[in-house]
Amino acid sequence: MLHSIGTGRYTMVKKRAVALLAAGIAIAIAPQAANSAAAEAGKSAAAPKAVSAKTLARGKYMVQTGHCNNCHTSGYTKNEGNIPEKDRLLGSSPLGYRGPWGTTYASNLRLTVPKFTQEQWVKYAKTMKARPPMPWWGLHDTSEQDLVAMYQYIRHLGPAGEPARDYVPPDKEPKPPYETRQLVQ
């Protein structure tokens, strides 16, 4: 009988020890598990949503009919638009646009636009003012839905190319090549 009481007591102590050990492990890993769950939730929240083919087609249409490629795709006008899509919107470099304002270079939209969130891009496009020859006022009149489509299309193309050259003031001589432009009065 003493033996069975001792065995029962040993079994009870053993069960308590296992329970305490399990509780200790649970307490020790709970913060890591919570952080991991939060990170996973954050990843899924931050993960880009799939963009519909309709939105991408609209964005491409807006970029084409807005004539963005005329300046933001090197050689686009000279080649009458016959530039592969993979080479579009990489900026005008090395070609600059020189006029009374100085010399500007069309930005590489595939590097510039992804720096913005979608909301930031829409706000920027609606309020920006740029040096010639950029017709920035046209973006102000573009609907939010169309600006979102443009944003998604440009992001869809993926980053490529190099940043545009820096602006050159009117009193400095730019490196060739550049086109001389006059503002219409």
For the chain, percent of residues with pLDDT exceeding 70: 74
Q: Are residues 58 and 131 in the same domain?
A: yes
Residue 19, pLDDT above cutoff 60: no
Q: What is the pTM of this model?
A: 0.72
CA distance 158 to 39: 25
Confidence band of 128 (pLDDT split at 50, 70, 90):
very high
Q: Are residues 96 and 37 in the same domain?
A: no
Residue 173, pLDDT above cutoff 90: yes
CA distance 157 to 145: 19
Structural domain harbouring 12: 1-47
Domain count for the chain, please give it: 2
Mean pLDDT of 145-173: 97
Q: How confident is the model at residue 177, as a pLDDT?
A: 94
Residue 185 maps to a domain: no
| pLDDT per residue as tens digits for the range 54-67 | 999 999 999 999 99
Of residues 11 and 138, more confidence is placed in 138
